Structure 1
Amino acid sequence: MCGYVGVIQKKIHQSYDELSNRLRASAERISHRGPDDAHEWVSKDGHIGFGFRRLSIRDLSEAGRQPMHSHCARFTMVFNGEIYNHLDIRKKLDGISSQRWQGHSDSETLLAAISCWGLEKTLTLLDGMFAIALWDRSEQKLFLVRDRFGEKPLYYTQQNDMLYFASELKGLPDLGASFGDIDQEALQTYFRLRYVPAPRTIYENIKKVLPGEIVIYSLAGNHNLSYRKYWDTAFEAQKSVDTGYAGSREEALNDIDSLLNQLVERRLASDTPIGTFLSGGIDSSLVTALAQNQSDNAIKTYTIRFEDERYNEADEALKVAKHLGTDHTEMSVTESDALKLIGNIREVYDEPFADPSQIPTMLLCQLARQHVTVAISGDGGDEFFGGYSRYLQIENDWYSRKHGTQNENLARSLAGLPWHVIDKGAGIFRKKPNRFGPKVKKSLIKSCANSLGAFSEHYSGFWRDGLPLKGVSLDDNWQFGRTWPLDEGQMDSFGVLKSLMVSDGLIYLPDDLMVKVDRASMAASLEVRTPFLNQDLAKLCWSLPTGWHINQRDGLKQLLRETLYKYVPQKLVDRPKKGFDVPIRDWLRGELKPWGAELVNSTNAEVCELLDMEMIRQSWQEHQKGASREGDLWPALMFLSWKNEE
């Protein structure tokens, strides 16, 4: 696990020494991603250079040092991540080549495989998380590659015949890159979703490599950038659905159990201490149970305890830990802890990012890093096994919507009424702010949604009755589903529930969950591994009848629950899903109130040009008087905090 930066220049704008110095300074900005080693490399002709910071996990010797050169001298690579099946790949290489290994790192295996089979064939063999920058000296091309499910980040920008790239945004300016202005489309999406999906970033000039994508920069010719997909989640899901699963439900349970055991076993390989995150929920309990089942010693487990029992799962996690016999550690999180952490969020995430569980995730990673260098998490279980309660609600409501008799034009007209005025009059005699108008308006707008993507965003999106942005048209305010990734044919094939699962795997998983975990963990110099994020497991899940996973009668995540019951008694884990939420609603009326009040009363000129501050202040005041506005307020506060510290 590491971090890197790099530059490729068509014309020599920066001398060899200047480029080396820039790479060193830039890589130092992301040294938290790799505090164990530092190294820079610039090609002899000065066209390309890499800067690298290493977090040593496998092969702690210099044999695992990067940038790494292939034995044939054709390729130079920097690589962030882990290839869990690299020993299997080594065996294949040993059978067909005379490769002489210098060490036992997965980086050396990866580079040897690319030298033998080429990049794209090698990528099809990998079980791992990775962001790769590969220089092909023979073809004079740079390849930027990101893993299938977006676990590892990679940013890039093309400016002045130069391509700059880095593991984090903060690494780009010292290379000479310019961020540019705020991307208005990205800003609208951020306020709706609380994150910015790839390939956009909050800045106009900067892009993210998409999951499963190869970005190619060629020094030759006029068209420098091209793009290829080596993995397309929607396409692979479609193939799996079309092929279907030939076995019985019992056989599917056995296949899931067997494959998850294999995936956990691979992710336990480390030359440094390893543990697991244990919330007491289905996903984390299962990966912990499988890890403990394969370990001779007590696995170290970590959890967060909240004082507010509505959000606390620490007691349940402790019961699971005792049953499994793990070495368990928990940490209590208070409003004061959150307040202390707030000032670090911009430094950790670079872009505005407003998933409130970022706070306990950062604290959990800091706790685990005191004892281990690697942690295993249960992320991905919800997307592949049907774990979100909104799925069933959306299916019910979408069916009613499709078969109802709503008049879209009438609904649009009614939604345009001055509901805020009506609310103001109706709220005169109530102590608590009246929110009847916005609720009606949201319902009317939702009833106009003519696609599953737009409809589903009303269950997970924010500022649904109007974005607090200057210059946003009515059409923009009503434009839901802008990031929906599936076409009509795919949705017809998948059905509602599987469409929602696949969509979350394409957008929410990589751009929210993986961003949250990667930045929080790497800020603490901790590697987090996710057994559920594997292409074979994903294909298996997609091939199964949706009703085996989730249905109106039996509820959520049935197959994963039954797999877990083999290892943990049902009574310890069979309870309603809480998620990794935090009591932001109360915190914003408590110790976070002074911080929030200062932000919403900002007079920053650029902020006032971008945001409708009066609208945000009104939401803040309503929240303080008892309305529940934390869902809308948190992205506004995170943006204001990010912008004020820029």
Structure 2
Amino acid sequence: MCGTLASISVERFPRRNGHHNTNNNHSTVINGDFKGARNHDVAVNGELEDQKRQRALLTTQLEDGLTEISHRGPDNSHVWTTEDARVGLGHARLSINDLSIDADQPIHSDDGTIHAVVNGEVYDFDRLRQVLTDQHGYHFKSHSDSEVLVALYKVYGAPDFIEHVRGEFAFILYDERRDLVIAGRDRFGIKPLHWTFVRDESGEKRLLVASEAKAFLPLGWQPEWDIGAIVDGGYMNGERTVFKDVHKVLPGCWLEMHSDGTINHHRYWDMEYNEKDKVETRQLDDIISGVRERLTEAVRLRLRADVPVGIYLSGGIDSSAVAGIVAHLVREDGVLAGTEDASKHIRCFTIQFPSGSGFDESDIADRTAEWLGVDLAKKDMNEGTLAEYFTDSIFHTELPCHDLAGVGKYGLSMEARDNGFKVVLSGEGSDEIFAGYPFFMGDVLTEPDLSMPTSPLAKDQTTRLDLLRMSNDVLEKVIKWSGLWLHRPEQGSSADDVQGVAPTLYFQPSLATWAPWVSRRWPDMNCRATVAASHDPKVRAKMANRWHSLHTAEYVWTKSVLPNFILSTLGDRAEMAHSIEARTPFLDHHLVEYVNRLPPSLKYAYTPETEDFGEQGPYWTDGTAPQKLLTEKWILREAAKPFITEELYKRKKHPYSAPFKWPKEGPIHKMLQKLLTREAVDNLGFLNYEVVEQGFNKGFGEEADARAFRNLLVYASLVTIGQRFDVKKAESRDWAPVTGPV
């Protein structure tokens, strides 16, 4: 685990002779400053001195960039550059596997021609290391999992080497044999990776790549807002961010920069589902066993570390299943939780929100911990603490957030770190893969599941359509009560617009929210069109014709909300803010590929025989159909049943969220008032302060409007980012008028 940063000079990137410096430095990466052609064979003293100066400057800039993200790797940091300062790599290390200096980064291949920085974890690396040593004669320097990635690249090249990598990772690699830089990201976007271009002091164009955008600041980056991405939801879909010209390397993708300065983007992996009418022929017991075996293996692999491993435990089935499997592996199979013999003390961590809010699951976590016989530490996230942590949480997230749940996870990671842990297992990804969200209810009912033609809802269209109508009514109530935004297809949408694209969930206020020039510039905001445009036409054709509607919804959420909100706000950024590596067994791609091929009816199942529903949480307080007749994550419940309590087996999904109703003049109200002054809002340049001011009248008190409160959180997030990053005020002259479809 680490922070990475790289700088490459685009305009001085032709192939040249000359050897690179291969001093082995520690692990913060700044993708090399590829600065142009120099004839090293005939270099005069002046040229050599200039190279030394440029190299010293680049080293200092990279070191300063690593300081900005030192929370990602507080154990040590190192920088490596080429002799001519064309390429520079930096790495801030969080030591987890092989704690010795041999595992420091940047990493260099055994022949000294490949240089890389790696963020994250490669699982099953002991087996890979043996294969690379025995069959390919590779000579390893360390016992680090990250070094395996460099060895795989040397043996298999790109992109074939990534197919062997199992885990969560982001990397930047320079192959001096080919004068090639590549940067890649894991299949689900668990680990972040951003890139942008800047001009250095001499006016040369450089490519920067880093784990977090804040690392760019010492290298000449001057942040500006991407108003279009904020207005149309682009920062939640595709490669855009809230910062102008700062892009994400997309999940399952890699980019390469060639010696002529061109950058190519490639996808090495993607989600796939069966044809909607392919009949399932396997026995149900075999399917349940298949899920259980793959999930257990995913958990087992993620217990491998040279430091202790803990568990995040909430009141839901996902984290509880992980904790239950860990307890089984430790006590029945003698598996270590990292370096810990945890047979007596498996350590778990949970959040305690204010009692009576409807969002505190700590009592259920208590009962689960007692049943499992594990230790449970609680982080009290009361109103004052949430208000105190808000701005720091947003600074680390680099995203506008409509919920305080990310602030809760920020506090939870602090609790784990204060208890001496660097690694925890977490339940993120389960809802997207196993269809856990209530918003998926309508998607499983939209069309019959022809892969199980004898199932009740496949045979009885009347019942299915009745349930669909009722589910839409229920979801409308949930959306209104919770203040969220659910973007549904428009009637009569064309295939070129949003046909086949599932409903999505993210911030989209009214036009009145924006400054007048923004409303004129983007008069027809269509977030669903943004979602559609973010997917390859071939994928959209599968959505429209090949995949079941539930699988389309899973795909859309896994490409948008999962990497751009959950794995960021609730995942990597919240955890790495306190130097915690969270591992996500549910996003093991071997498990996901198996589950993706299962029938929709085994994920969101029709279960009219169920009578005892247990405690249902605030989302299902009315107790009406169809939620009584449908069970989300049914196949996971069956697979995890030996490892969880009866209470969790029966309990309906309660999405992890923070309370959104707070009193006037309380800590959160006062915190937002302090942030959202007229001056602060006007300094953004794109919000209408009158609408912000009106939000305070609606967003607090006993009769508070949930959406008004969520809007205020988004506005406060933007103000926080603007102030902490010193973002340039947005002005209409910086954005050309619309001349065609946005």
CA distance in 2: counterparts of 1:288 and 1:453, whole angstroms:
40
- Post-superposition shift, 1:76? 0.2
Q: Does 1:559 align with 2:635?
A: yes
Contact 2:502 2:553 in 1 (8 A): no
- Deviation of 1:5 (Å): 1.2
Deviations for 1:425-448, whole angstroms, at most 9, x for unmatched residues?
xxxxxxxxxx99x99x99999667
**Against the structure 1 CA distance between its residues 241 and 527, is the aligned structure 2 distance closer, same or farther, given a 3 Å change threshold?**
farther
Q: What is the CA distance between 1:607 and its match in structure 2?
A: 3.8
Render the CA deviation track for 1:308-346: whole Å, top value 9, x for unaligned. Answer: 330011111111111111121112211010111123124
Partner amino acid for 2:322? V
Q: Do residues 226 (structure 1) and 264 (structure 2) align?
A: yes
Within the candidate set 104, 109, 118, 2:143 is matched to: 104
Partner of residue 199 from structure 1, selected from 220, 231, 239: 239
2:183 matched residue in structure 1: 144
C-alpha contact 1:70 1:111 (8 A) present in aligned 2: yes
CA positional deviation for 1:141: 0.9
User: 2:224 matched to 1:184?
Assistant: no
CA drift of 1:246 comes to 4.9
Give the structure with the higher percent helix.
1
3-state DSSP class of the match of 1:41?
A: strand
Deviation at 1:464, TM superposition (A): 5.2
1:390 and 2:390 are equivalent in the alignment? no
CA distance in 2, matches of 1:156, 1:167: 9
Q: Which amino acid aligns with 2:311?
A: T
- CA change 1:93–1:239 in 2 (3 A) is farther
1:148-198 deviations in whole A, cap 9, x for unaligned? Answer: 10011111112343111111111002122333x3112111145xx9x6444
Q: C-alpha distance in 1, partners of 2:646/2:227? A: 48
Give the superposition deviation at 1:62. Answer: 1.3
My pick for the range that moved more, 89-98 or 61-70, is 89-98
Q: CA deviation at 1:45?
A: 2.6
Contact 2:543 2:549 in 1 (8 A): no
Partner of 1:356: 404
Given the alignment, which residue of 712, 716, 722 partners 1:637?
716
Match of 2:540 among 487, 506, 525: 487
Of 123, 132, 153 in structure 1, the residue corresponding to residue 162 of structure 2 is: 123
Q: CA deviation at 1:571?
A: 2.6
> Does structure 1 conserve the Cα–Cα contact (< 8 Å) formed by 2:324 and 2:372?
yes
> CA 1:124–1:387 in structure 2 vs 1: closer, same or farther (change >3 Å)?
same
Q: 2:580 aligns with which of 509, 516, 526?
A: 526
Does residue 175 of the first structure (1) align with residue 219 of the second (2)? Answer: yes
The answer on whether the counterparts of 1:454 and 1:479 sit within 8 Å (CA) in structure 2 is no
CA distance in 1, matches of 2:347, 2:359: 23
Letter in 2 for 1:596: L
Deviation at 1:601, TM superposition (A): 3.7
For 1:51 and 1:623, how far apart are their aligned partners in 2? 44
2: CA distance between counterparts of 1:589 and 1:241?
A: 53
**CA separation of 1:480/1:306 partners in 2, compared to 1, >3 Å: closer, same or farther?**
same
Of residues 505, 508, 518 in structure 2, which corresponds to 1:460? 505
CA shift, 1:15, in A, is 0.5
Deviation of residue 606 (structure 1)? 4.6
Q: 2:668 aligns with which of 592, 596, 599?
A: 592
Q: Which runs of 5+ in 1 are unaligned?
A: 405-434
Task: Write the distance in 2 (CA, Å) between the matches of 1:495 and 1:330.
Answer: 41
SS of equivalent to 1:203: coil
Aligned counterpart, 1:414? none
Q: Superposed, which structure 2 residues align to 1:408-423 within 5 Å?
A: none
Equivalent AA in structure 2 for residue 382 of structure 1? D
Quick one: structure 1 residues 453 and 445, their matched pair in 2 at CA, closer, same or farther if it must change by over 3 Å?
Answer: closer
- 1:353, CA displacement in angstroms? 3.6
- Residue number in structure 1 paired with 2:121: 82
SS of alignment partner, residue 295 of structure 1: helix
- CA 593–455 in structure 1, closer or farther in 2 if over 3 Å, else same: farther
Q: Which residue of 2 aligns with 1:368?
A: 416
- Pick the aligned partner of 1:15 from 54, 59, 78: 54
Partner of 2:283: 248
Residue 544 (structure 1) aligned with residue 601 (structure 2): no
Alpha-carbon spacing, 1:588–1:104, altered in 2? closer, same or farther (3 Å):
farther
Give how far 1:604 is off.
3.7
Pairwise CA distance, 1:614:
1.5
Identity %: 26
Q: Could you say which residue in structure 2 is the equivalent of 1:419?
A: none
Q: Is residue 2:63 matched to residue 1:24?
A: yes
Say whether 1:166 aligns with 2:210. yes
Deviation at 1:242, TM superposition (A): 8.6
Change (3 A) 1:187 1:607: farther
Contact 2:119 2:170 in 1 (8 A): yes
| Shift in CA distance, 244/384, structure 1 to aligned 2, threshold 3 Å | farther
CA distance in 2, matches of 1:316, 1:624: 28
Match of 1:428 in 2: none
Matched, 1:211 2:256: no
Letter in 2 for 1:7: S
1:270 is aligned to 2:270: no
Q: What aligned pairs does 1:213-362 form with structure 2 within 5 A after superposition?
A: 213-218=253-258, 220-221=259-260, 223-233=261-271, 237-238=272-273, 246-296=281-331, 297=343, 298-309=345-356, 310-362=358-410
Alpha-carbon distance between aligned partners in 1 of 2:277 and 2:132, rounded to the nearest angstrom: 34
State the Cα distance separating 1:348 from its structure 2 match.
Answer: 1.3
Give the Cα separation in 2 of the matches to 1:338 and 1:315.
20
Identify the residue that residue 472 of structure 1 maps to in structure 2: 519
**Residue 513 (1) aligns with residue 559 (2):** no
**In structure 2, C-alpha distance between the alignment counterparts of 1:588 and 1:147, rounded to whole Å:** 43
| One-letter identity of the residue aligned with 2:303 | L
* Counterpart contact for 1:164–1:177, Cα < 8 Å: no
Question: Match of 1:422?
Answer: none
**Once the 2 structures are TM-superposed, how far is the Cα of residue 244 of structure 1 from its aligned partner?**
7.4
Query: Are 2:499 and 1:499 equivalent residues in the alignment?
Result: no
The corresponding residue for 1:420 is none
Query: How far apart are residue 211 of structure 1 and its match?
Result: 0.7
The letter for the 1-side match of 2:4 is Y
Whole-angstrom distance in 2 between the partners of 1:593 and 1:353:
16
Stretch of structure 1 that moved more, 104-113 or 569-578: 569-578
Following the alignment from structure 1 to structure 2, what is the Cα–Cα distance between the partners of residues 442 and 289?
A: 34
Distance 2:396 2:681 in 1: 25
SS at match of 2:173: strand
**Structure 2 vs 1, CA of residues 163 and 442 (structure 1 numbering), >3 Å: closer, same or farther?**
closer
Amino acid of the structure 1 residue aligned with 2:302: R
Counterparts of residues 437-456 of structure 1 (less than 5 Å): none
- TM-score, normalised by the number of residues in structure 1: 0.87
Distance 1:447 1:117, change over 3 A: closer
Aligned residues between the structures: 604
1:380 corresponds, among 398, 406, 429, to 429
Alignment match, 1:425: none
User: What is the rounded CA distance, in whole Å, between the counterparts of 2:178 and 2:360 in structure 1?
Assistant: 55
Seen in structure 2, the aligned counterparts of structure 1 residues 334 and 464 have a Cα distance that, compared at 3 Å, is same
Cα deviation code 1:90-139 (max 9, x no counterpart)? 23223312223322111222211111111312101111111100000011
The more displaced of 31-40 and 622-631 is 622-631
